[in-house]
Amino acid sequence: MKILITGGAGFIGSAVVRHVIKNTADQVVNVDKLTYAGNLESLECVYSDSRYFFEQVDICDYAEIERVFSKHQPDCVMHLAAESHVDRSIDGPGDFVQTNMVGTYVLLEASRRYWSQMPEEGRRRFRFHHISTDEVYGDLVGSDAFFVEEMAYAPSSPYSASKAGADHLVRSWYRTYGLPTLVSNCSNNYGPYHFPEKLIPLMILNALEGKPLPIYGSGLQIRDWLYVEDHVRALYTVLTKGVVGESYNIGGHNEKKNIEVVESICHFLEELAPEKPEGVLNYKDLITYVQDRPGHDLRYAIDAGKIQRELGWVPQETFESGLRKTVQWYLDNRSWCQHVQDGSYRRERLGLELNSREQK
């Protein structure tokens, strides 16, 4: 297949690109606007592969998206491009509505027009896989229930509301136009190449520098944690085996309080990075509590039974094994982290982008 992947320079998107190039015979067309979260250094290992193509394109630009479809003639779409940081959505919701909803609309329309003109065999094989979040379901506070695919949406933040809106658009293009769509909703991802504004990489890097480890509120918020490489295996499984029109929840079976996550990070750092910054006796001493953010959901929990029963996917990593790998990766890749922290990854990416294009 030739897979058009949007947001392929982001955290999950780059993991999908690496997985496809390393483990399949498929081709990848990476479409990414390269906002602050797009990091081409996360894809250096695939640049030399003749099956990898890069297009710096805003998914909200209809003419450019149509050009990409016409030029590359993909067999399917994996749509991961999104604004995804909740705190940023509270401060600037407009970008989230534009990218997550308008951008999804543009991709759906371009896909529909492209798909409608394909030969019969191409139409039969084509898929539009929209990758979403468990946050669309809202909050499970006071309940022992889990998110299931049939649950009504109740988003709490501008981010989750914009993703919920995108999910509804995707389903409506299936119901109204017959576009062969798939939707997956995942729990919190973690692993290598994660942008340092997110909880786990932020805690690791702050601890290594002897900075405070800020935890919202009481730290009792519960999330289900999914190792990113488990997630991308699930995404490829949904793309290749999923039933058109269906949704699949993807979770790691790892419910943890935020404070437990941070304490686990400190535990692994004590083992893997025993030489602490000056003045730090124990990494846990750096934990601090800060004012909770507005509309903070207390508990998310995924029931991933459907994808296991119907498609045979189960996560391979426990939270402990995945977190150990993650902490070790950040210890072994300080230069990648430094380039993100000082912003040099953005200054250097033009050369990487040109290098990627010149090889084609």
Model confidence over 56-81: pLDDT tens digits?
Answer: 999 999 999 999 999 999 999 999 99
Span 189-213, mean pLDDT?
94
Spatial contact of 116 and 176, defined as CB atoms under 8 Å apart: no
Tell me whether residue 184 is in a domain.
Answer: yes
Predicted local confidence at residue 351, as pLDDT: 54
Give the distance from CA 177 to its chain's centroid: 27
Residue 52 belongs to a domain: yes
What pLDDT was estimated at residue 85?
A: 77
Task: Taking residues 332-348, report their average pLDDT.
Answer: 86
Question: Do the domain assignments include residue 339?
Answer: no
CATH at 43: 3.40.50.720
134 is known as an active-site residue: yes
The residue written with tokens 């990848």 in the block is 28
Q: Is 303 a catalytic residue?
A: no
**pLDDT over 90, % of the chain:** 85
**pLDDT tens readout for residues 125-175:** 999 999 999 999 998 877 788 999 999 999 999 999 999 999 999 999 999
Assigned domain for 271 exists: no
Confidence category of residue 349, pLDDT binned at 50, 70, 90:
low
Those residues whose C-beta lies under 8 Å from the C-beta of residue 313, and which sit 6 or more positions away, are: 233, 234, 237, 250, 307
Across 6-20, 42-56, 210-224, 336-350, least confident range: 336-350
Q: Which of 32, 41, 83, 134 is catalytic?
A: 134
Higher-confidence residue of 88 and 107: namely 107
Angle 316-231-333 from CA coordinates, rounded to 5°:
85
Catalytic residue among 159, 193, 227, 283: 159
pLDDT of 357 above 90: no
pLDDT value, residue 84: 81
Confidence of residue 358 (pLDDT cuts 50, 70, 90): very low
pLDDT score recorded for residue 359 = 44
- From CA 348, how far away is CA 351, in angstroms rounded? 6
Tokens read off for 190: 């973690």
Residue 22's pLDDT is what?
A: 97
Whether 353 shows a pLDDT value over 60: the answer reads: no
Mean pLDDT for the stretch of residues 97-101: 96
Residue range of the domain that includes 121:
2-190+225-252+301-317+344-358
Q: Compute CA 264 distance to the chain's CA centroid, rounded to the nearest angstrom.
A: 22
Backbone angle region of 253, left / alpha / beta, with phi > 0 → left and psi within -120 to 50 → alpha: left
- Does the residue 149 lie in any domain? yes
Q: Has residue 331 been placed in a domain?
A: no
Q: In the structure encoding, which two tokens stand for residue 72, read together?
A: 């590359």
Regarding predicted confidence, which is higher, 84 or 308? Answer: 308
Per-residue pLDDT reduced to its tens digit, 244-254 = 999 999 999 89
Domain count, the chain: 1
pLDDT over threshold 60, residue 219: yes
Query: What's the whole-number average pLDDT of the chain?
Result: 93
Structural domain contains residue 110: yes
35 assigned to some structural domain: yes
Per the annotation, the verdict on 216 as an active-site residue is no
Q: What is the DSSP string of 215-266?
A: EETTS--EEEEEEHHHHHHHHHHHHHHPPTT-EEEE--S-EEEHHHHHHHHH
**Picking from 61-75, 197-211, 259-273, 283-297, which range would have the lowest pLDDT averaged per residue?**
283-297
Q: Which of 32, 41, 55, 135 is catalytic?
A: 135
pLDDT for the residue numbered 346: 81
* Nearby residues of 86 by Cβ (< 8 Å), 6 or more positions away: 135, 157, 159, 160, 293
Give the C-alpha separation, 105 to 103, whole Å.
Answer: 5
Question: Helix crossing, 199-208 with 334-342: angle to 10°?
Answer: 100
Q: Please tell me the predicted confidence (pLDDT) of residue 120.
A: 96
